[in-house]
Structure 1
Amino acid sequence: MSIPDFLSPNGWLQSDGGPRYLQLRQRLSEGVDLGILKAGSSLPPERELAAITNLSRVTVRKAIQALAEDGVIVQKQGSGSFVASDTPRIEQSLSRLTSFSEDMSRRGMASSSIWLERGVFMPSPDEVLALALSPDASVSRIARLRTADDKPMAIERASLSTDMLPNPLLVETSLYEVLEDAGLRPVRALQKISAVNLAEENADLLDVTPGEAGLRIERTSYLADGRVVEFTQSIYRGDAYNFVAELRLAKE
């Protein structure tokens, strides 16, 4: 059934059914439950909804605002209203150095990967700088789409010197498990987080609309003796993560 057919007022809008905005709110909610309004999809503009339902734009706006308060609809400034994604939102601590696999396992979620790249390459200028490599050195790269309970969550691109990871094919699930087995698990890291609008290629991989909000994270990890272990550049879905940091009052 099309959205205009579903929202046509014949059959659900009743003169004695209570406030009209509440009836529209209920109808839109039913559309979400039935999958007619799909998770992540945009709602028709207010003017179009008013024309379809024979309701005023004020009534339509009140119904959408009520659904937004319920978390069913997400309103984005300048973009419109969208059905909330059914992707689980994960709280990620910024004070713990863990792998994606460990994070998901701790939450009782099944993690998996789709390989995008894995091999030994000549380093880029950024990799030479981040990993403190000589220009003629080689670098091991592993790039994959990370999923949790079969939902795409992040694109992860890790670079390591071949001293740290001679054979990237050894990494099947957790990179940190391979490093730990070699006695090379990092103990600290520096992270830089920035907001991005997802380009088409990354949006397609993450199953979101191009231009959606995302998070770009660059992480450089170190051994206890100060040697660099990995340089990772990741793109996370903006609707899937909350990053949490504990702050303490500095003593003067």
Structure 2
Amino acid sequence: MDLIKQDSRPLYLRVKEYIENKIKKEIYKPGDRLPSETALSNELGVSRATLREALRVLEEEGKIVKHQGIGTFVNQQTPRFLKGIEELVSVTKTIENAGYTPGSKVLRLEEIYPDDKLSKKMRLDSSHKILKIERIRTADNQPVVYCLDHLGLKYLENGISKRDFQGSLFKLLENKYGIFIKYALTHIVPYITDKSLAEKLDIKEKSPLLLLEQYHYDTDERMILFSQNYFRSDQFQFKVLRKR
């Protein structure tokens, strides 16, 4: 392919990147069998030796797997984000730390009165309004987390604007409202995607998700934020260090 040959890097690396990009864009999906070596080398206009070197590196990196006599397959997708859950880091920072560009799409921003269940979770009287924020968080424009956040309006004295919620809530609370989130009590809950959430995250219905329900406290021990973050389990994996 002309675009590949115009690049000055070693040819096998350019071929590797071409195949890698097709995997990333899910043109080749997890579990898919790649075209034959003959078909791929003809498509790219490279020798089979060059193609095989590119495939060798992809196999070493765990992105493809070869089955003798059957073919070469895209490996079942491994999570892009592996993080320790003991450290409280915003979704934005998690995505940035992994080398991707974070993004956010605000689906809904509304003031509501909490029901009894939510008011108990947030330690607020049901007569106090809260701000409900519904967002999709993206990494390189791919949806990876569905976030449902609840903030007590009494803490947001400087007013609210939809554009405020395009990035990290932690930074917003610090920079605009002078609130520093000190720690969070977190519950990890396995969750199966319903139709609505599957459409939002661009995944199949009944796909597994990791739901993190978090109660965030500030330096004055106030429960400021209650969040429900639904992480795509094909994109995120959480770990924790346990000691005896």
Q: With structure 2 as the length reference, what TM-score do the two structures score?
A: 0.67
Q: Which runs of 5+ in 2 are unaligned?
A: 1-18, 34-58, 66-72
Matched, 1:98 2:89: yes
Which of the pair has more CA radius of gyration?
1
Partner of 2:191: 196
Query: How do residues 176-195 of structure 1 correspond to structure 2 at under 5 angstroms?
Result: 176-181=170-175, 182-195=177-190
Partner of 2:119: 128
Structure 1 residues 91 and 186: CA distance shift in structure 2, 3 A: same
| CA-CA distance at 1:171 after TM superposition | 2.6
Kept after mapping to 2: 8 A contact 1:197/1:212: yes
Matched, 1:222 2:217: yes
Query: How do residues 8-47 of structure 1 correspond to structure 2 at under 5 angstroms?
Result: 38-40=28-30
Distance in 1 (alpha carbons) for counterparts of 2:63 and 2:171: 38
| CA-CA distance at 1:194 after TM superposition | 1.4
Matched, 1:235 2:230: yes
| CA-CA distance at 1:168 after TM superposition | 4.0
Partner of 1:173: 167
| SS state at 1:187 partner | strand
2:98 to 84, 90, 107: 107
Q: Counterpart of 2:100 in structure 1: which amino acid?
A: M
Distance in 2 (alpha carbons) for counterparts of 1:96 and 1:219: 13
Kept after mapping to 1: 8 A contact 2:180/2:219: no
Kept after mapping to 2: 8 A contact 1:140/1:168: no
Q: Which runs of at least 4 in structure 1 moved beyond 6 Å after TM superposition?
A: none
Distance in 1 (alpha carbons) for counterparts of 2:222 and 2:92: 24
Q: Which runs of 5+ in 1 are unaligned?
A: 1-28, 44-66, 74-81
Q: Counterpart of 2:225 in structure 1: which amino acid?
A: E
Q: Counterpart of 2:170 in structure 1: which amino acid?
A: Y
CA RMSD, aligned part only?
Answer: 2.8
Distance in 2 (alpha carbons) for counterparts of 1:207 and 1:84: 20
Q: With structure 1 as the length reference, what TM-score do the two structures score?
A: 0.65
Distance in 1 (alpha carbons) for counterparts of 2:63 and 2:117: 41
Distance in 2 (alpha carbons) for counterparts of 1:174 and 1:193: 21
- Give the percent of matched residue pairs that are identical in Structure 1 and Structure 2: 23
Distance in 1 (alpha carbons) for counterparts of 2:173 and 2:243: 32
1:160 to 131, 134, 151: 151
Distance in 2 (alpha carbons) for counterparts of 1:103 and 1:37: 26
Structure 1 residues 71 and 160: CA distance shift in structure 2, 3 A: same
Structure 1 residues 37 and 157: CA distance shift in structure 2, 3 A: closer
| CA-CA distance at 1:165 after TM superposition | 2.8
Structure 1 residues 37 and 98: CA distance shift in structure 2, 3 A: closer
